[in-house]
Amino acid sequence: MSPKITVLETIAACRDYRAALGQTPIAFVPTMGALHEGHASLVRAARRIVGDRGHVIASVFVNPTQFGPNEDYSKYPRTLEADLALLQAATANAVFTPTPAVMYPPTDTAAGKEEARMTIDPGPLANVLEGAIRPGHFRGVCTVVTKLLNIVTPTKLVMGQKDYQQNAVLRQMIHDLNIPTEHVMEPTVREPDGLAMSSRNRYLSPDERSRAVVLYEALTWAAAEFAAGNRVPETLQAGMKQRIETRGLAVQYALPAHADTLIPWPRQIDGPCVLLIAAQLGKTRLIDNMVLKSA
């Protein structure tokens, strides 16, 4: 049985815990809770990266600053007891579980307002796709991850590929701000039928769940076309969109983009490419992606 996981509720407790580890390699897995096998796989990957002599620290924090005014912050599932059990079984050593008041205490500036807080400008990578649809989202993500990295000071930051744009933004942030942490992106974990695991999948009705797999089907179709030599973005985009809409989902975007800049390919794909999809299914918003490999 795994040793009991250490729960750290305050910044001071987390810093004291980290300081006692000295030069021990630390892999950090930030989460918003409502954990599933995809998160467990990240913790196990973090354990492989740092080995038995290293330490794996996770966090469970539903970050209010990355939710828009019409998004599901208040309804986002909170399942801390189950989350702790999953993290312990996956061999995490500790978990940081701050409240919003811990992470964002009341300001004592002259302005005295929430707007007076310092935030991280996520730059041009955050202006497209998710950033265009969810204004301010990546500002909230970058700000909270910077705070977490400053508190935990890990050797490695381990995240899943499902949030591809988030990975790209954070990787750029770590590079540009000279943060001494290496970003590691692990493959998306999928259900047996291909649906990407997500905490929001629990919102889906049985009928919606059966239709949600069309995102993966659209990605695999486009990947097969690409492997067969199709390099025309419009064709791939139209084919993915048509397949998704046939199953009754509202497509927000479904396109091939440059894997590094995230700029949609204009006429001919002639470099690193990622397929990116976002669609609304009932009240649930789903995203997925697939990196294409050139022959």
258 is known as an active-site residue: no
Please state whether beta strands 55-60 and 94-96 pair in parallel, antiparallel, or not at all (unpaired).
parallel
Q: Decide: helix, strand or coil at residue 94.
A: strand
Question: Around Cβ 183, how many Cβ atoms within 10 Å?
Answer: 17
Question: Around Cβ 93, how many Cβ atoms within 10 Å?
Answer: 24
The single residue of 39, 55, 137, 175 carrying the catalytic annotation is 39
Measured CA to CA, the distance from residue 88 to residue 111 in angstroms comes to 43
Q: Could you say which DSSP state residue 284 is in?
A: E
Measured CA to CA, the distance from residue 143 to residue 122 in angstroms comes to 9
Measured CA to CA, the distance from residue 141 to residue 66 in angstroms comes to 6
Helix H or strand E encompassing 220: helix 214-227
What burial letters (b/e) apply to 124-157, b meaning 16+ CB within 10 Å?
ebbebbbbeebebbbbbbbbbbbbbbebbbbbbb
Residue 281 pairs with which residues in a beta bridge? 284
Tell me which residues are annotated as active site: 39
